[in-house]
Amino acid sequence: MRDTSWNWGTRLVERFLSQPARLSHLLERLPDSMESGMRRRCQFLLYGVVRHLRFLEFLVDSFLRKRPRPGLRSALLVAGFEILSDPDKKAQIVDNAVGEIGRRFSAGEKAMANAVLRKVGQHLDALDRSSAESVCELAKISSHPEWLIRRWVESFSWEEAKRFTDWNQREPELYCLPISSGSNSIGQETSWEPYRRIDKSGWPQAIRLLEEGAIYIQDPGTRVGPEVLQGVFREGRILDLCAAPGGKTVLFDRLFGKELQEIVAVDLPGPRFDRLKENLERMRISRARTLASDLFKIDIVETGQFEGVYLDAPCSNTGVLQKKPDVKWRMKPEDRTQLIELQDRMLSQASRFAKQNGWLVYSTCSVESDENEAVVDRFLNSTAGRDFELVEQIKSCPWKTRHDGAGVALMRRLTGS
């Protein structure tokens, strides 16, 4: 097989179809020597197919008598996504895909692929994708699991669920947080100061500034929780839990003035923790100290308590599906009970590190009520949470804010507790 971006893309799609995994992990399989433009093309194809997977399977399967071999099926899905994303070039796309398929498969399979892809292009021209009137239809057209759409219809409304799925299917914008004064002019202004939007033409400059530690790639939705804490924080230290790869720690340092004396950034030992240390060193965050530890094993005698405790808890990631389309296929409804139990335990444990009159922030990148409001309610009604009061609670919905979603709860430990 030739090592083109198209062929590498089909390989990664085939692997995802056999065993859904984090796309960032799949991309690590690309050779280090791969040229950056080819690497970006592989990422575009992989993310695009996974984002539109159910719809693409519907399109391709409509013209198949039987399911082809896994490699051929992944090639058809990649070509189908290319046609979907650039219909004006469908003839060229089909010709290229059929040529690549012909180099790997039999003459009969090549002829079948040619017929199927040309029918896919014709069918797309006549298809109305805005006409979904049921959960089943919306799941197919918007490429989401039915159980997830049912949740959103119940939690929000039919129209809000449609807006949500539409948002998730869009290509995400790229934003950065300027760190040095010389990087404030990169890209374009946004509605969320100090964030800047970067388009394709600005990417070479962004890579240079990123390597210099002058910017940090970050979605404006990240700011919601830290800004809530900034509004009430007066002086002292912050414990940043589940801190890797370092985005919140960088943002704390950027937002807070001299009143913030130290940030203790904690995460489990391993590759993510290594990235946390590397990022903070590159960004020259001098008032941050890293700690490789399980939250449940931190020695409170050694660390002491903090004026601010920030827990960015593990979650379902439903607020960031636009950036992580693999999540919707890896997530299972039966896994939610165990996840929520972990969130309950982590919030209770994190609360131990808040001083009297100190602040506790519980944050997720989920828009699900059972991962946000319900977790906080149980905590406040528990033994661990009886000394805390809820000060503010926010749910940031991405189809409304136009950036990543989040759930944030600000609590305060009462005097004398």
Shared domain for 245 and 350, answered yes or no, is yes
Considering the domain architecture, whether residues 157 and 195 belong to the same structural domain is answered as no
- Torsion sign, CA atoms 310, 238, 276, 210: positive
Domain finish residue from 99, 126, 153? 126
- Residue 87 sits in a domain of what CATH number? 1.10.940.10
pLDDT in the model for residue 126 = 77
CATH number at residue 230: 3.40.50.150
Identify the helix (H) or strand (E) that includes residue 307.
strand 306-312
Are 111 and 213 within one domain?
A: no
Chosen domain end from 217, 244, 278: 217
State the first-to-last Cα distance of the chain, in angstroms, to the nearest integer: 67
Write down the pLDDT at residue 3.
55
3 state DSSP class of 304? coil
Q: Judge if 164 and 179 occupy the same domain.
A: no
Query: What is the chain's pLDDT, residue by residue, as a tens digit (417 residues)?
Result: 465 899 999 999 999 999 999 999 999 999 989 998 899 999 999 999 999 999 999 999 999 999 999 999 999 999 999 999 999 999 999 999 999 999 999 999 999 999 999 999 998 887 777 778 899 999 999 999 999 999 999 999 999 999 999 999 999 999 999 998 888 889 999 999 999 999 988 888 999 999 999 999 999 999 999 999 999 999 999 999 999 999 999 999 999 999 999 999 999 999 999 999 999 999 999 999 999 999 999 999 999 999 999 999 999 999 999 999 999 999 999 999 999 999 999 999 999 999 999 999 999 999 999 999 999 999 999 999 999 999 999 999 999 999 999 999 999 999 765
DSSP for 333-391, please give it: GGGHHHHHHHHHHHHHHHHTTEEEEEEEEEEES---GGGTHHHHHHHHTSTTTTTEEEE
Count of domains forming the chain: 4
pTM: 0.94
Q: Are residues 142 and 179 in the same domain?
A: no
Q: Are 118 and 140 within one domain? A: no
Distance, CA of 39 to CA of 16 (rounded, Å): 17
User: d(Cα 403, Cα 223) in Å, to the nearest integer?
Assistant: 10
Q: In the structure encoding, which two tokens stand for residue 386, read together?
A: 């009886």
Report pLDDT for 2. Answer: 60
Residue 27 and residue 144 share a domain: no
Edge-to-edge strand ranges of the sheet holding 236-241: 288-292, 260-267, 236-241, 306-312, 354-364, 406-413, 388-396
Residues 265 and 379 placed together within one structural domain of the fold: yes
**The two three-digit tokens of residue 323, written as one number:** 């950036």
Q: Which residues span the domain enclosing 332? A: 220-413
Alpha carbon separation from 34 to 15, 90, 96, 294 (Å, rounded): 19, 27, 21, 36
**Residues 240 and 348 placed together within one structural domain of the fold:** yes
Contacts of 385 (CB under 8 A, 6+ apart): 347, 348, 351, 379, 411
Say which DSSP state 171 is in. Answer: P
The reported pLDDT for the residue numbered 416 is 60
Q: Encode 130-146: b = buried (16+ Cβ within 10 Å), e = exposed.
A: eebeebeebbbbbbbee
Work out whether the CA dihedral 263, 268, 272, 277 comes out positive or negative: positive
